[in-house]
A and B are shown apart, each in its own frame.
Chain A
Amino acid sequence: KNQVEQSPQSLIILEGKNCTLQCNYTVSPFSNLRWYKQDTGRGPVSLTIMTFSENTKSNGRYTATLDADTKQSSLHITASQLSDSASYICVVRGGSARQLTFGSGTQLTVLP
């Protein structure tokens, strides 16, 4: 069964600190993996998309990594800001029908 598991479920950090969110998946065959940021009550916004051949991709203070061998991805946030407080969702496209499988998200809270 295709699954995407994210950890931790929630995370609280102080403004200016770095943090790393994890995503493990069992989706096979793998097509791509995306990280979305979702503010409370808003629609998810794409941060980055990783394909099989990509190991690292950055988008400003966000850096995503992908290890297709171990089926793991991480999202590293540098110098966190209050506006980074949101849910971060890992979504993997793959499987026999190339469907999307959503993780449950990590709720990040950045405190001043």
Chain B
Amino acid sequence: DTEVTQTPKHLVMGMTNKKSLKCEQHMGHRAMYWYKQKAKKPPELMFVYSYEKLSINESVPSRFSPECPNSSLLNLHLHALQPEDSALYLCASSQLQGAGGTGELFFGEGSRLTVL
């Protein structure tokens, strides 16, 4: 069983809706990530948080708004999405570089998003 928990597993929303994806980990990791994955493609990095601070934003449109309320939680707020944003959204966590770990990513099960 994964130690990174994502909710909801499935989400269907209209282009005018506001929704949020949630991610939680209790492994003490201080880096958390959001990835977007389209069918038959590898995950694409969206955001990285280090010590609850946004450290990487891969030029993601502002209709995606990440939030890291504390070291265990990571949210992705969604607003005015487009149908092409439909994808599997993966949350991951890792130890930070230099913290004695390999930086290995632990992924959640993902949230399947469909935008109508």
Contact surface of A with B, Cβ cutoff 8 Å: 31-32, 34, 36, 41-46, 49, 51, 87, 89, 91, 93, 98, 100, 102-105, 107
Contacts and interface: CB of A to CB of B under 8 A. Distances in A.
Contacts, number: 52
B110 A45 contact: no
Contact of A100 (B6, B105, B112): B105
Interface string B89-116: 0101000010000111111111010000
B94 to A, nearest CB: 9
Contact of A46 (B88, B106, B109, B112): B106
Given A98-B97, A102-B42, A107-B40, A43 B90 contact: yes
Nearest to B43: A102
A31 B103 contact: yes
Interface of B: 2, 4, 6, 40-43, 45, 88, 90, 92, 97, 102-110, 112
A41 B106 contact: no
Contacts of B102: 31-32, 49, 51, 93
Contacts of B92: 43
Contacts of A87: 40
Given A98-B97, A98-B103, A43 B2 contact: yes
Contacts of B112: 41
Q: Secondary structure of the B side of the interface?
A: loop
B42 A43 contact: no
A98 B109 CA distance: 25
Given A44-B43, A45-B2, A104-B41, A34 B108 contact: no
Contacts of A93: 102-103
Nearest 3 A/B pairs, CB to CB = A43-B107, A102-B42, A43-B109
15 contacts: A31-B102, A31-B103, A32-B103, A36-B107, A43-B107, A43-B108, A43-B110, A45-B2, A45-B107, A87-B40, A89-B42, A93-B102, A100-B105, A102-B43, A107-B40
